[in-house]
Structure 1
Amino acid sequence: MPYTTEEGGRLNNFAVEPKMYTAEPPTGKQKTVYLAMGVGAIALIGGLVAIAVSVSS
């Protein structure tokens, strides 16, 4: 563990930092999957709203 000695002899313990990496842009296949999930989510929400409206009438 990396310790730092401060004034007065106090030890300060720092957490180990995780390894950093850069994010890569999504591929064409991933974009297609994201689009399909978005359309599915919109259809699901629309269906739930339609059911709620029909039940409340």
Structure 2
Amino acid sequence: MYTTRNEDGILNNYASEPVMYFAESPSFEQQQNYAFQGAIAFLLVAFTFLTAFAAS
């Protein structure tokens, strides 16, 4: 941590910045996995709403 002190004696603390890097594009298998997870999530939410409408 980087700390400075001004003329009044007040301390200022600065966090160290993390190293930046560029994200890599997901592979084709990862993209398929994300699409499958999205479809399962959609079906779960749709089933929940349909159950709520049927119960009311």
Q: Same fold (TM over 0.5)?
A: yes
How do 1:23-42 and structure 2 match up within 5 A?
Answer: 23-42=23-42
**Range 10-19 or range 29-38, more displaced:** 10-19
Gaps of 5+ in 1: none
Unaligned runs of 5+ in 2: none
Q: Once the 2 structures are TM-superposed, how far is the Cα of residue 12 of structure 1 from its aligned partner?
A: 3.5
Q: Paired residues, what number?
A: 55
- Report the TM-score when normalising by structure 2: 0.77
In structure 1, how many angstroms separate the alpha carbons of the residues matched to 2:3 and 2:50? 60
CA-based RMSD of the aligned residues comes to 1.7
- Answer 1 or 2: which has greater helix percent: 1
Write out per-residue CA displacement over residues 21-53 of structure 1, whole angstroms, 9 at most, x where no aligned residue.
Answer: 110011101100110011001100110011011
> TM-score scaled to structure 1, two decimals?
0.75
